[in-house]
Structure 1
Amino acid sequence: MIRKTISKGRVNCSVYIDNLSKIIVHLLIALKTSHKPIDIEIDKLKEKVKKIKFQEDIKPLEALRDEIAEFVIKYDEFILEQKRQFNRLLLNDVSILIALAKSAEADKRYRDKLDEVKEILKNRIDIESLKQAKEILFRLGTATKDSKDIVYRDIIEILFMLLDVESDDKKAKDYLEKVKQLNAKLSSSPYRLDETEIRKQLKELVEEKEKLEEEYIASLQTKLDKALKALIYTITTFSTSSNNYVNTFQGHIDEINNAISSKDVDVDELSRRLIGIAIKIKDTTITMKNEIEEYSKKMDEAKKTIEELKEKLKQAQENLIVDPLTGIYNRRGLLHFLPMEISKSTRYNQPLSVIMADLDHFSKINNTYGHLAGDIVLKGFCKTVKSLIRAGDIPIRYGGEEFLIILPNTTLEKAYDVAEKLREAIQRLKFKYKDETFSITSSFGVAQFRENDSIESLIKRADKALYKAKEKRNITVREDQV
């Protein structure tokens, strides 16, 4: 081999060739694609380049140059597409991860899948590994979205069931049109439920519904009053009409008596007069019969109207004070029944107690299993309570997972026993949601009505006892233990 040197200040030719070959090797390495046939060819070219040494005959070098050029031309588009695909996959994976970070709950399934992705990318980052990661992340993202969609759609369905009203009033029709429009918005985009404007609209609709229901009940009460007055009028009119017919018939009887007692009338004349009276009696009887039938029809219609209105009024009042999810009374029910029970307790000098209950760690159930599982727990709790208390006791959903039970004619000691019986029954319950089985516990506070108590002061003492119970969870505390 000839080592050629040049004058001072110029680079040695062999060094130049050596450096150039190293650059070409690095460029070839950069062209690696994870596509085996191409990578084999690149490796062959690398080895050839590494062997380049300066020599007088440049033909082998030109041949190698042409071979590299042809290779690059041949695979340039393919390699570029591979690079583009790599970048696309990388961006897709990053985008999915960002979306998951915003919306997914960090449950075990979510954590396990991310660990799986980390393991794949820890070993290598190429097109295949990015494809695997994308598939796992996409499934995870879709499952999370579907799951949340289902929850949101269930919430929306329940919401619009609650927003329905019973009324044919024009205001109600306008209100229902607004409900329909909002329902259409949320049906196509359930996640809009998170928007402040949508929540504001829902709040306004709830307030409007309450007002409409109150007006509806008032209108039913007015119609019922009118129907009762109409029935009373019909009965009074019928009674007056009956008295008139009694007088008419008495007149006919008097005519008959006069005709019979008359001494100057011959048989033919008497016969004619009696026939005439008989015709009058017949006409009076037919008229009276027709009027009786008419009055009977009016009374039947009035009674039917009254029964229908009473049933509608009862249903409307119940809808106003019954919690639709659990089927027990709501806070309006509390304001309806507790004053009545306090009044009875005072009048008859009977004890009256209340129990306040709270489901322990209820938010954890919602976060772990979802709101539908939470609804199942609330229903199960209420079903158990109703099965263990007396018919005259009144269970009320006081708020989210807080409940109040009114116990008429019950002392503090007896109320404590009832609360303990409920607490023990609740902790034995087993709930199943999808493939998960879990249980809950509950805490109770008990207070008894005192002379001069108000609704607020009685509930405040029960709530104070409950607060004490919640410090330890799954116990019952009486007001005299606080």
Structure 2
Amino acid sequence: MTINQIVRNTVERLKAEGKAWSPDLYAEAFCIEAKKAGVKVEDCQGIDRYTPLMDKKTQDEVKQYRVKTTAELVRFLISKMSRLNPSEASILVEALSALTKVMAMSITTLHNHNATALAKKTISMIETQGGKTQIELLKQAWENFLEMYDDSFLEKLSDYGKVDSHNLKKTIESLRIDSSAPQKNDLTRVAQLLVMGLSPSIAPAIDDKTALLTQKLQENPDYISRDVFEKEIRAAIAMRIALDKQSVEEMVKGLDELLGKLSVQLIDLIERSENSTTEIRDVKRDLEALDSDKPKDFKTAHKRLYAIATALEEKVEILSIDLRSHNTKVNEMGQKIAVLESQLETATQASREDFLTKLLNKRALQEVIEVKEAEYERYGRNYCIAMLDLDFFKSVNDTYGHEAGDAVLKAFAQILKDEARVNDTVGRFGGEEFLAILGDTDLSGAQTFAQKVRGHVEEAHFMYQGQRITVTVSIGIAQRKDYPSLDTLKVGADERLYDAKHKGRNRVEA
């Protein structure tokens, strides 16, 4: 191998190792490549050419300090000669000793990148034979590190094992992390179950403190792990039981009133019967006893009613004619009531539902937004509204006819249903204008919803009688917390819709 090839290999080695191209490093790399190539270079013989010329003591010192290169040998000899000056040598030795002591103290805590950086600077300074000023500055840097270093962060591991700040390996090996411990996702599921469990099963409404606790759990499932949570959940459970008990008592009271009326009616019917028998009089006495000794719970009321019903069924056959007559009237009234209920349900549904799109109409949307407004005022639960208007819809009706326009409205309504979440409410506000009420959503979430709807509409194939109708939508968004009232919120959303229209349509403005 030629010298030129060895030089090229030396350059490649320095590049690969990322070292600076100093004369010493280049000479060292060159000698390594020459040795690999089996080429003997006199300059690479190192200190072997000079050690035979030294005395035995100096040779031993060279071996002790592991001097390898000619440059290191020169520095060693200069240092040895400098020690011939006792005053300067003693100052340098004292400074180096202090530096070595500070480094030894710092190395015991070397699990920090700052300490590693200082160690590298120290090694670099020693290799370049820095002067007393450099040594003092570096010594001060080490002392500052020791004063400011804080390993208290390791105490965070104390929940999982014994912490030994002097032996990180031992600390890590002693850690015992329980994989079955509840994680954030587990706490989220537990929080959801607790929220459902706190909802009253009988009482019609939830109390304010329990509502506040459910809000805390929804916003921060980690609240479960706090010490105060146990006290609050116990109080919430007790309140739920109290509310349910109160509701049961009110129901029992209502049942008692119903039993009272039933007793009066049956007693009156028995007294009007011309053929009252001993058995019938027994039933009458049972009813009078029921009225005087009112039941306190459902079970007792059910038991007494069952006994009376059995007695009536077994012993009061004489009342069958009158009862059948009343039953006929009751059936007739029941049929009338059923018809009225059906008509009422139809009328109620019609009053809340848009006849064409089957979405909520303006009246129903107003009811929903009033509920959201009450939740915002009471609990601070933010929400957004989005006003959506189909662009150039009049031209669709003019070009393809009103039946085509109705088909487009129905298809757009289905897109709104597909993109809406469980907490969202969508409806037709009027004409080609629609409204989305986005519960528990900030402005960013509302923009995401609006962009999905806009993109869906833009890419959709609105077809009518084999013809594709191009449709786009403009959307204006406003969030409740940015406005002082519900009315100004609506105005804000309408103004954003106006901006979207005048900026070219088929866009979202917030």
TM range (shorter): 0.3 to 0.5
TM-score computed with the length of structure 1 as normaliser: 0.40
Between 1 and 2, higher relative CO (CA 8 Å, sep ≥ 6) is seen in: 1
TM-score computed with the length of structure 2 as normaliser: 0.38
